[in-house]
């Protein structure tokens, strides 16, 4: 399964953004991420979070989240890396936004 999720968050505000399910059953789990601070004068402090809860199950109303990595891109810059801890889903959570900013959050998972 290949997952390529590209999410544009315009006028980012503090808070959690929607979960992006990933395939946790791959023999070697790896999800590449990139956070682009596309435009806007604001500074953004954020985390990329994971969960072991099945967010595709409609009975799961509140997935328990934990921080996988801190992602604080500067204006016009990108922060990227690889997540190797197997999880059910990943999301972007802005913790502080000092002014309006536009963020692009990308995930790529390749595998069998």
Can you tell me which residue has the tokens 């959050």?
Answer: 105
pLDDT digits (tens, 9 = 90+) for 15-51: 888 899 998 888 888 999 988 887 777 778 889 999 9
Locate the domains of the chain by residue range: 3-109
Those residues with Cβ within 8 angstroms of residue 59's Cβ, 6 or more apart along the chain or in another chain: none
* Fold of the CATH domain 3-109: Jelly Rolls (2.60.120)
Confidence category of residue 54, pLDDT binned at 50, 70, 90: very high
pLDDT digits (tens, 9 = 90+) for 69-92: 988 777 677 889 999 999 999 999
Q: Which residues pair with 92 in a beta bridge?
A: 48
Distance separating alpha carbons of residues 15 and 57, to the nearest angstrom: 22
Region class of 95: left (phi > 0), else alpha (psi between -120 and 50), else beta: alpha
101 has a pLDDT exceeding 70? yes
């Amino acid at each position: 399964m290949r997952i390529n999720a590209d999410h544009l968050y315009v006028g980012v505000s503090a808070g959690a953004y929607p979960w992006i399910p990933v395939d946790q059953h791959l023999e070697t789990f790896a999800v590449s991420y990139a956070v682009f601070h596309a435009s806007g004068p604001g500074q953004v402090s954020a985390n990329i979070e994971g969960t072991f809860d099945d967010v595709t199950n409609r009975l799961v109303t509140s997935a328990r989240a934990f921080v996988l990595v801190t992602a604080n891109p500067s204006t016009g810059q990108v922060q990227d890396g690889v997540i190797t801890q197997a999880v059910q889903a990943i999301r972007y959570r802005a913790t502080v936004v000092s002014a309006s900013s536009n963020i692009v959050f990308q995930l790529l998972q390749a595998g069998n």
